[in-house]
């Protein structure tokens, strides 16, 4: 594609539409883009916890809404759900028992992005990320500054720790060590209490949702409470543009869930989009990103007996042509697709078959 020409077209479209409206997209607006044609079909995909999110996103896009409005409205359902312990309200907290949320959004037609990290007390970090994109000259705000910015824009603070997520955190704290004074529930004559202590699982969990709207424009969002019981202040891949999310309106979009540290050291989302630019399908591109993580995983503590990563990552991708794909390092992963016929779970491609549990 002649980039100079397409940029000129884009600027012309921007001028016609009024520069303000292109540079500062508002909810509910649709966007002209020189790089995409109108598509007859919209597409929404997400991580496996996004059945309701993709339904909502599809419904909005079918009504002509911009993909960014659609995917954010979709993931807000999961952020608001106290029963999903990996995102928003009810997300598992950090090691101190405080819920710290990360999120990013990226809008294809304007190629603008916004993100927040280690944000406390606001259940919809994806909306705050959007406000960062629209109302600042920055891309990423973190911690106290992100909270102050959210409050400035009318977001209301609330306690995000539900009883269920607090109890999970207490279990984790009580099972950390035989050397400290925290004990899980035990009977008065339990002699083996020290032996019964096992490290509780530090779980991952996130929602990534990508959309292609009827105008042929692409946007994406990733939102998470991150790694459960993380060191306070730890930020994963989700709010990092190029790692947990990347959109190029002329090519496609990619996002991730799973071990953020592995993705942060590989910038996989931008890599997936670049592979698609070279002609790879979304699934092939996601598999190549998994392969790169395997090649770059050197520390023995992160490898199993056969030298393969002992963690998982999953990638999700769509192309501007309306193709989709997903891949993970280990088998049994799922992702959600909605191309107009309802949201359905599909298998992710993978590099290695999980050993069967005996
Ligand atoms: N990738 C997220 C993080 O590392 C967690 C996840 O997707 O489960 O923070």
144, with CB counted inside 10 A (0-12, 13-18, 19+), is: exposed
User: What percentage of the chain has pLDDT greater than the value 70?
Assistant: 83
Asked if the model's pLDDT at residue 333 lies above 60, the reply is yes
- Assess if residue 24 is contained within a domain: no
Number of structural domains in the chain: 1
Q: What is the model's pLDDT at position 5?
A: 34
CATH label of the domain that carries residue 304: 3.60.20.30
How far apart are the C-alpha atoms of 74 and 57, rounded to whole Å? 5
How far apart are the C-alpha atoms of 11 and 274, rounded to whole Å? 24
The HSE-up count of residue 56 (CA atoms within 13 Å, CB side) is 17
Listed as own residue / partner, the contacts of 190-195 with beta carbons closer than 8 Å and 24 or more positions apart are none
- Assess if residue 9 is contained within a domain: no
Pocket of ligand 1 (CB under 6 A): 204-206, 224, 226-227, 236-238, 257-258, 260
Residue range 245-282, pLDDT digits in tens: 999 999 999 999 999 999 999 999 999 999 999 999 99
Most ligand 1 atoms within 8 A of CB, residue of 104, 142, 208, 227 to mutate: 227
- Assess if residue 325 is contained within a domain: yes
Global pTM value = 0.86
**Nearest partner of 43 among 303, 327, 342, judged by Cα:** 342
Asked if the model's pLDDT at residue 144 lies above 60, the reply is yes
Query: What is the average per-residue pLDDT within 301-326?
Result: 96
The mean pLDDT of the chain is 87
- Assess if residue 148 is contained within a domain: yes
**Nearest partner of 272 among 258, 291, 296, judged by Cα:** 291
Q: Which residues pair with 314 in a beta bridge?
A: 257, 328
Coil, strand, or helix at residue 118?
A: strand
How far apart are the C-alpha atoms of 160 and 150, rounded to whole Å? 15
What's CA 78's distance to the chain center, in Å? 12
Residue range 153-168, pLDDT digits in tens: 999 999 999 999 999 9
- Assess if residue 22 is contained within a domain: no
Task: Give the residue with greater pLDDT, 227 vs 200.
Answer: 227
- Assess if residue 35 is contained within a domain: no
Angle at the Cα of 158 (from 152 to 163), degrees rounded to 5? 160
Q: What are the Cα distances from residue 168, in Å, to 83, 178, 239, 297, 349? A: 12, 18, 25, 30, 31
The catalytic site residues sit at 206
- Assess if residue 243 is contained within a domain: yes
CA of 113 to the centre of ligand 1 (A): 19
Task: Give the residue with greater pLDDT, 11 vs 313.
Answer: 313
Confidence band for 200, pLDDT divided at 50, 70 and 90: low
Q: Which domain holds residue 325?
A: 46-183+192-352
**Nearest partner of 32 among 139, 88, 110, judged by Cα:** 110
- Assess if residue 21 is contained within a domain: no
Q: What is the model's pLDDT at position 205?
A: 77
Nearest-atom number in ligand 1 for the CA of 205 is: 8
CA of 313 to the centre of ligand 1 (A): 9
Residue range 84-128, pLDDT digits in tens: 998 999 999 999 999 999 999 999 999 999 999 999 999 999 999
User: What percentage of the chain has pLDDT greater than the value 90?
Assistant: 76
What's CA 355's distance to the chain center, in Å? 27
Query: What is the average per-residue pLDDT within 322-346?
Result: 97
Coil, strand, or helix at residue 51?
A: helix
Q: What is the model's pLDDT at position 196?
A: 53
**Nearest partner of 55 among 341, 257, 347, judged by Cα:** 341
Residue with tokens 């005996």: 358
Most ligand 1 atoms within 8 A of CB, residue of 226, 229, 266, 312 to mutate: 226
| Nearest alpha carbon, ligand 1 atom 7 | 257
CA of 205 to the centre of ligand 1 (A): 6
Most ligand 1 atoms within 8 A of CB, residue of 117, 259, 311 to mutate: 259
CA of 70 to the centre of ligand 1 (A): 22
**DSSP per residue over 132-166, as a string?**
HHHHSS-SEEEHHHHHHHHHHTTPPP-----HHHH
């Amino acid at each position: 594609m002649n980039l100079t020409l397409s940029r000129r077209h884009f600027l012309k479209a921007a001028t016609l539409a009024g520069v303000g409206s292109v540079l500062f997209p508002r909810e509910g607006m649709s966007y002209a883009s020189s790089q995409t044609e109108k598509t007859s079909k919209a597409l929404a995909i997400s991580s496996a916890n996004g059945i309701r999110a993709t339904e909502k996103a599809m419904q909005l896009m079918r009504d002509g809404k911009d993909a960014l409005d659609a995917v954010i409205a979709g993931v807000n359902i999961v952020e608001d759900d106290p029963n999903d312990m990996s995102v928003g309200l009810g997300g598992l907290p950090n090691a101190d028992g405080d819920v710290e949320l990360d999120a990013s959004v990226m809008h294809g037609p304007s190629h603008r992005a916004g993100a927040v990290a280690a944000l406390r007390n606001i259940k919809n970090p994806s909306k705050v990320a959007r406000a960062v994109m629209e109302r600042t000259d920055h891309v990423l705000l973190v911690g106290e500054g992100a909270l102050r910015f959210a409050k400035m824009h009318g977001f209301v603070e609330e306690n995000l720790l539900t009883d269920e997520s607090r109890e999970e955190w207490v279990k984790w704290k009580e099972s950390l060590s035989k050397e400290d004074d925290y004990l899980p529930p035990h009977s008065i004559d339990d002699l083996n209490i020290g032996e019964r202590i096992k490290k509780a699982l530090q779980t991952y969990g996130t929602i990534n949702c990508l959309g292609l709207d009827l105008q042929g424009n692409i946007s994406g969002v990733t939102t998470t409470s991150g790694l459960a019981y993380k060191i306070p202040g730890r930020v994963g891949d989700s709010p990092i543009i190029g790692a947990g999310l990347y959109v190029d309106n002329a090519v496609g979009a990619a996002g991730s869930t799973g071990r953020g540290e592995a993705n942060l050291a590989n910038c996989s989302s931008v890599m997936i989009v670049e592979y698609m630019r070279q002609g790879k399908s979304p699934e092939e591109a996601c598999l190549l990103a998994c392969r790169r993580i395997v090649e770059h995983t050197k520390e023995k503590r992160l490898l199993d007996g056969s030298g393969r990563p002992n963690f998982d990552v999953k990638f999700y991708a769509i192309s501007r042509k309306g193709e989709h794909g997903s891949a993970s390092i280990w088998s049994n992963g799922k992702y959600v697709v909605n191309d107009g016929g309802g949201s359905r779970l599909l298998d992710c491609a993978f590099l290695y078959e999980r050993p069967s549990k005996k």
